Structure 1
Amino acid sequence: MNLEPLISEDFEREWSSFHVNRKPLGWMLRSDESLAWVRFHSLPDSKRYPENEAEEGIILSRAYSLGNTTLGMGASCWQIECRAKELNPPYWDAPVSGVKAITFADDEEKLWCAHVLETHWRQDTLDAILLAVADDKTGPTMWMARNTGKIFAPYDGGFDLLVSSPEEVEQLKAQFGEWLSDHPEGL
């Protein structure tokens, strides 16, 4: 039985139920003012890239803390990595079965390919991909909780979280306030 069409159908149905008419790119979602969004920096003092193992450890610690809080430990998720259409295939630390590619255009008509994988958010199992994102070695990557639609979208420099409500944003800011940006727009 070929599972790829089922993965595609399940993802597209679930994505649409939470994010209808939106594309799975963190920067596009972040700019949608109707969504509850907050950004946290991955390193102290807004440092963008890690220079040593200690800084990589900080990034992973923050990523798992924010991912666990947003998605839920062990949550069933969609892992989505987008690449410009001409840059196929995605970054994976090993060949992965069950990956389905979905093509779409962004607001500027640039073609993207979203590589979608059904997975679970588990502490200490995503180090390679999280560090690849932190080092800007992969395309835009995010995880969406299948039961809530909440999104954890790391990037080189931090983490964008798209959650259920402005109240949840305020709770996250209170809980992880020292990781927030000083920028007036939260960037």
Structure 2
Amino acid sequence: MRFHSLPESKRYADTATEYQILLDRYNTVLTELFAGHPVYIVTMSFVPDEGIEVWSPTDPHALNPGSRPWTRLREDDDDDPGGTMHLHVSEQRWKPRILDPLLRAVADDECPGVIIMDTDLRRLYLPYDGGADVILTNPQERDALKNSHADWLSTHPLGL
């Protein structure tokens, strides 16, 4: 299911109040999913084949405390030159606000590809600029979370 991070499906925050709303929404759902339990936090960076250094003001791995290199994945696309995704992972016990700097960078589209998941890999939280996708273990769990935050859902017929 997909939750939007701001009212009326606004994609980006412009004010301190809007940043507070989106961080509250991210943290509320994350806490409902993982409160007090260990989670894996995965961050990703991309290095294209041309050797052109991709400059970003935000280092996603620096915003993932205690992260270490996990794996590299090759990405090739007909429209874009290939490259390698570098994935780092950390393990932390979830508590609200521990990832606010990372979540804010995600909301500003500075750190794509973040995944937060339980250590059994049964629940996944994938924040993006504009909201978060949540993958749960069963339809009952999905429906309960969906019903508790119905006003954060898209009004689009496909839920996007």
When the two structures are superposed, what TM-score results if normalisation uses the length of structure 2?
0.82
- Range with bigger deviation, 46-55 or 92-101: 92-101
Distance verdict in 2 for CA 1:97–1:63, change over 3 Å: closer
Distance verdict in 2 for CA 1:41–1:98, change over 3 Å: closer
Checking the alignment, whether the CA contact within 8 Å between 1:93 and 1:128 is kept in structure 2 is: no
Gaps of 5+ in 1: 1-37
2: CA distance between counterparts of 1:137 and 1:173?
A: 27
Q: Deviations over 1:110-165 (max 9, x none)?
A: 53221111222211221111101000111311111103521111100001101101
The answer to whether residue 56 in structure 2 is matched with residue 83 in structure 1 is no
The answer to whether residue 128 in structure 2 is matched with residue 150 in structure 1 is no
When the two structures are superposed, what TM-score results if normalisation uses the length of structure 1?
0.71
**Which residue does the alignment assign to 1:113?**
86
Secondary structure of 2:116 counterpart: strand
Secondary structure of 2:23 counterpart: helix
Secondary structure of 2:98 counterpart: coil
What is the alpha-carbon root mean square deviation over aligned residues? 2.3
**Which residue does the alignment assign to 1:166?**
139
Distance verdict in 2 for CA 1:97–1:179, change over 3 Å: closer
Checking the alignment, whether the CA contact within 8 Å between 1:92 and 1:129 is kept in structure 2 is: no
Identity of aligned residues (%): 31
The answer to whether residue 71 in structure 2 is matched with residue 102 in structure 1 is yes
Gaps of 5+ in 2: 49-53
Structure with the bigger percentage of strand: 2
Checking the alignment, whether the CA contact within 8 Å between 1:81 and 1:142 is kept in structure 2 is: yes
Alignment-mate amino acid for residue 4 of structure 2: H
Structure with the bigger percentage of helix: 1
The structural deviation recorded for 1:101 is: 3.6
The answer to whether residue 26 in structure 2 is matched with residue 58 in structure 1 is no
Q: Which runs of 4+ in 1 moved over 6 A?
A: none
**Number of equivalent positions:** 149
Alignment-mate amino acid for residue 83 of structure 1: S
2: CA distance between counterparts of 1:94 and 1:148?
A: 22
Distance verdict in 2 for CA 1:97–1:165, change over 3 Å: closer
Distance verdict in 2 for CA 1:81–1:183, change over 3 Å: same
Checking the alignment, whether the CA contact within 8 Å between 2:61 and 2:88 is kept in structure 1 is: no
2: CA distance between counterparts of 1:83 and 1:184?
A: 33
Q: Deviations over 1:97-116 (max 9, x none)?
A: 45124111358475322111
Distance verdict in 2 for CA 1:77–1:94, change over 3 Å: closer
Secondary structure of 1:51 counterpart: coil
